[in-house]
């Protein structure tokens, strides 16, 4: 993976609108889908059209004759809810239990994550709801603007969960500042911290820990050490007790 491979293609509204019917069906190739998703957060008119096609895609199954599931499958599902269901264990902290700084950080992280996955539909609402996040969100938006670049990190086996793969990307804004974003990890009632490192050959140098919150996502600013300005590899690992680190995501920085 290289920075360039993730550089977003800029599209006009007409080019985006032409692709939205196929985008709603998940039929675009990765480059085109990324370009469409980069455009949508910045263009309310195209967002409106996108939602219409998504609504059509979501309604098409209603044309089918419903099929009653096996009652045993429902019973099994209800049993599975009892066995380690994170949702049931998640207790949202009361507002007063969270510092204003942390709330701002979580909101900003949510904003950048939503933008990163093409979900800019919500950014304006988030900002409106929390005026104090406006400045931070605007700053973070630099990392997912068309002038920014991103590098997708390869997910390792340990990042495959029941619901699919976790994902991680490193964003770089035009000023050269970098932000690591991880999402799709197991939700947790307590903040989980994953070590982040860079490597030259087999020598790994820790950069710090990325904090994963109750929504299974997290972000951190990344600065390479002065003596390793151009590392060969960037990685996110997982620590389980005294066991050796297990790699979750690896990014090849040599491209």
Partner 1 sequence: MADGRSQPAPQQSEPAARTGRRLFAPEDQAIDAALMERVTTGDKAALGELYDRHAPTCLALAMPILRDRRLAEECVQDLFLNLWQRPHTYDSQRGAFGGWLMRVARNRAIDLLRRQRERRFADFAVGAEGTPFDPELFLVDPAPDPAELAASSDTGDRVRAALVSLSGEQREALELAYFGGLSQSEIAERLNRPLGTVKTQIRTGMQRLARQLTGYRPDGTDTE
Residues that bind partner 1 (CB under 8 A): 17-18, 21-22, 24-27, 44-45, 47-70, 73-74, 76-78, 80-82, 85-90, 119, 121-122, 125, 162-164, 187, 215-216
CB of 19 to partner 1, least distance (A): 8
Distances (CA, A) of 248 to 78, 158, 172, 186: 31, 6, 21, 12
CB of 10 to partner 1, least distance (A): 20
Nearer to partner 1, 57 or 158 (CB): 57
Nearer to partner 1, 122 or 224 (CB): 122
Nearer to partner 1, 10 or 129 (CB): 129
Distances (CA, A) of 3 to 85, 171, 226, 229, 255: 37, 9, 20, 15, 7
Nearer to partner 1, 81 or 221 (CB): 81
Residues in the chain: 255
Buried b (16+ CB within 10 A) or exposed e, 122-131: ebeebbeebe
3-state secondary structure of 243: coil
CB of 108 to partner 1, least distance (A): 17
Region class of 233: left (phi > 0), else alpha (psi between -120 and 50), else beta: beta
CB of 33 to partner 1, least distance (A): 13
């Amino acid at each position: 993976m290289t920075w360039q491979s993730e550089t977003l293609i800029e599209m006009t509204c007409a080019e985006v609108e032409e692709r939205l019917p196929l985008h709603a069906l998940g039929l675009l190739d990765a480059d085109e889908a990324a370009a469409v998703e980069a455009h949508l957060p910045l263009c309310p008119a195209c967002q409106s059209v996108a939602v219409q096609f998504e609504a059509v895609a979501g309604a098409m199954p209603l044309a089918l004759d419903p099929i009653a599931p096996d009652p045993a499958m429902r019973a099994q599902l209800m049993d599975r809810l009892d066995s380690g269901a994170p949702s049931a264990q998640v207790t949202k902290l009361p507002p007063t239990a969270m510092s204003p700084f942390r709330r701002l950080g979580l909101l900003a992280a949510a904003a950048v994550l939503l933008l990163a996955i093409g979900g800019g539909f919500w950014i304006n609402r988030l900002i409106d709801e929390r005026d104090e996040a406006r400045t931070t969100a605007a700053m973070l938006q630099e990392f997912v603007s068309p002038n920014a670049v991103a590098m997708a990190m390869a997910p390792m086996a340990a990042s495959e969960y029941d619901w699919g793969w976790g994902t991680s990307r490193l964003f770089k804004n035009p000023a050269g500042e970098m932000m690591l974003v991880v999402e799709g990890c197991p939700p947790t009632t307590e903040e989980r911290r994953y070590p982040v490192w860079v490597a030259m050959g087999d020598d790994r140098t820790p950069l710090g820990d990325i904090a994963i919150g109750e929504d299974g996502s997290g972000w951190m600013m990344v600065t390479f050490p002065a003596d390793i300005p151009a590392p060969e590899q960037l990685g996110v690992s997982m620590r389980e007790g005294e066991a050796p680190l297990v790699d979750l995501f690896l990014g090849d920085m040599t491209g």
